[in-house]
């Protein structure tokens, strides 16, 4: 994921409202709070502020809240979906999860953590693509995976 360069002079930043215009996900399943930079069609870096108010913490786990790994991967996929759906030919389309490969969870994500979500497209074959994705907390890897997606009409 070294290709992503955050020290660019002009960043593309999106708020939660901007993201909602691109993705159909809504509370409680909208898992990206902000895009802090992206290159449409290529990569995106998002942010998720993990709060104790998240509905999944009611059952995962009472007294020991840990963000489910599957939701970390979903947040990464949503970050990548913003990048791929931001190009003109994909406007108004839907990005569907197609698969996860080499998923690894390196540390627990708990309330108060801020997830930095990085997703970079590595292969596109028509409407199907593959991306490398990585979630970090305080610069340390929390999870990483290769995700496959398909862009379809709504």
Spatial distance between the Cα atoms of 93 and 90, rounded to a whole number of angstroms: 5
- Contacts (Cβ under 8 Å, ≥6 apart) of 61: none
Query: What's the pLDDT at 5?
Result: 62
The DSSP secondary-structure symbol of 6 reads S
pLDDT at residue 135 tops 60: yes
Q: In whole angstroms, how far apart are CA 72 and each of 11, 112, 124?
A: 24, 15, 23
Query: What's the pLDDT at 9?
Result: 73
CA 19 to chain centre: 11
Catalytic residue among 25, 34, 60, 107: 60
81 three-class SS: helix
Spatial distance between the Cα atoms of 143 and 46, rounded to a whole number of angstroms: 14
Assigned token pair, 124: 């596109």
Clarify whether 60 is annotated catalytic. yes
Query: What's the pLDDT at 10?
Result: 84
**Mean pLDDT of the 100-123 span:** 98
pLDDT at residue 70 tops 60: yes
At 115-131, the pLDDT tens digits run 999 999 999 999 999 99
What is the per-residue DSSP string for 56-77?
A: GGGTS-TTS----HHHHHHHHH
Look at domain 16-152 and name its CATH class: alpha beta
- Asked whether the CA dihedral 14, 16, 20, 25 is positive or negative, the reply is positive
At 11-53, the pLDDT tens digits run 899 999 999 999 999 999 999 999 999 999 999 999 999 999 9
pTM (2 decimals)?
Answer: 0.94
Spatial distance between the Cα atoms of 96 and 94, rounded to a whole number of angstroms: 6
Query: What's the pLDDT at 4?
Result: 64
Q: Look over the chain and give the mean of its residue pLDDT values, rounded to a whole number.
A: 95
**Mean pLDDT of the 55-75 span:** 96
């Amino acid at each position: 994921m070294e290709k992503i360069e955050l020290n660019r002079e002009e960043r593309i930043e999106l708020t939660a409202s901007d993201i909602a215009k691109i993705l159909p996900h809504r509370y409680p399943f909208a898992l990206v709070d902000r895009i802090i930079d992206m290159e449409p069609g290529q990569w995106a870096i998002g942010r998720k502020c993990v709060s104790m108010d998240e509905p999944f913490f009611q059952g995962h786990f009472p007294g020991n809240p840990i963000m489910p790994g599957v939701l970390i991967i979903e947040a990464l996929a949503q970050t990548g979906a913003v990048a791929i759906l931001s190009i003109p030919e994909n406007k108004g389309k839907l990005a569907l999860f197609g698969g996860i490969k080499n998923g690894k969870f390196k540390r627990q994500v708990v309330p108060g953590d801020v997830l930095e979500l990085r997703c970079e497209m590595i292969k596109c074959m028509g409407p199907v693509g593959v991306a490398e994705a990585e979630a970090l907390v305080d610069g340390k890897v929390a999870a990483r995976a290769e995700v496959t997606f398909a862009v379809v009409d709504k």
